[in-house]
Amino acid sequence: MSEQDTSQDTANEQTKDSENTTGAADSGEKQTELGDAGKKALDSERTARKDAEKQAKAAAARVAEVEAELEKARAAADEAAKARTALEHENTVREVIAEAGLPEEVAAFLGDGDKDALVKRAEEFKGIAEAMFAARRPQPVPEAGQASVPRRSTGDQFAQAIGPLFNH
């Protein structure tokens, strides 16, 4: 490139820049040159743009609202799933307790886990409980409570006590 070409490019850029700056000033003049039809067209475009912006804002608000509802629904679904899991576990514990022949109060001591683990713990608990209660039960003493005199019934004792009062 020669110096002449670069000077022409620079001159062209300067004229473009001056046109851009004067273009902004001329827009007021061009607007007056548009006439009534041009003004109406510009006004209708501006109105349409404002309406479109309002619709976009309304749509964005609706999207935010739907997203909030979606989050609430997800939270409710999570709660429902947790509640379902808890109820299924409780049902399984009750089945295991019923099969083992244990009282319902034992449910709190079985803890968590699948059915096999619960059955194993219930059997362990039953074995421990039987061992504990078997050790506490007093063994019968055959000699206790027997006297040398044969036992009389309550009716015989009553008759013996009241009989002399009526037989004068």
Of 70-84, 108-122, 144-158, the poorest mean pLDDT is in 144-158
Residue 61 pLDDT > 80, yes or no? yes
Asked if 125 contacts 109 with a C-beta cutoff of 8 angstroms, the reply is yes
**Distance, CA of 168 to CA of 156 (rounded, Å):** 19
- How do residues 4-28 score in pLDDT, each as one tens digit? 555 555 555 554 554 444 444 445 5
| pTM across the whole model | 0.45
| Residue (of 115, 122, 121, 117) closest to 97 by Cα position | 122
